[in-house]
Amino acid sequence: MYASVGKDLIFVFESLISKGAVYVFTYFGVSNKCGLYCTSHHFRLFFQKITTILPSFCDAIPLYGIKLVPFRKFMEYSSQHPFLVDVARVITGVEGERRYVKNDKLIDMLVIHIKNDGLKLNITVFGEMVDRIKALVAAGEQQLPVVIFQFARINSTNILQNIMYGARLLINPDVPKVVMLRKSKYYREISQYLSVLSGKLAYINEDEVLYSTEKKTIKELHAAADVGFYVVLATVLNVEPVLSWWYKSCVCSMKVEANADTYFCDDCNKDVNNVVDRYDSN
Mean pLDDT score of the chain, rounded to an integer? 75
Those residues whose C-beta lies under 8 Å from the C-beta of residue 154, and which sit 6 or more positions away, are 74, 77, 78, 79, 81, 85, 160, 161
Per-residue pLDDT of the chain (282 residues; tens, 9 = 90+): 778 888 888 888 888 888 888 888 888 888 776 655 555 667 778 898 889 888 887 766 666 677 788 777 777 777 777 778 888 888 878 877 777 666 667 778 888 888 777 777 888 888 788 888 888 877 777 678 888 888 888 876 667 777 766 788 888 888 877 888 777 776 766 656 566 655 444 444 554 545 456 677 888 888 877 666 677 778 878 766 666 667 788 877 788 888 777 888 888 888 887 777 776 655
Architecture of domain 71-210: Beta Barrel (2.40)
Contact between residue 102 and residue 211 where contact means Cβ atoms under 8 Å apart: no
Expressed in percent and rounded to 5, the helix, strand and coil fractions of the chain are 15, 35, 50
Contact between residue 133 and residue 171 where contact means Cβ atoms under 8 Å apart: no
Q: What is the pTM of this model?
A: 0.50
DSSP string, 255-271: BEEE-SSSEEETTTTEE
Contact between residue 146 and residue 181 where contact means Cβ atoms under 8 Å apart: yes
Residue boundaries of the structural domains of the chain? 3-55, 71-210, 218-279
**Total Cβ atoms within 10 A of residue 263:** 18
At 147-170, the pLDDT tens digits run 888 888 887 666 777 776 678 888
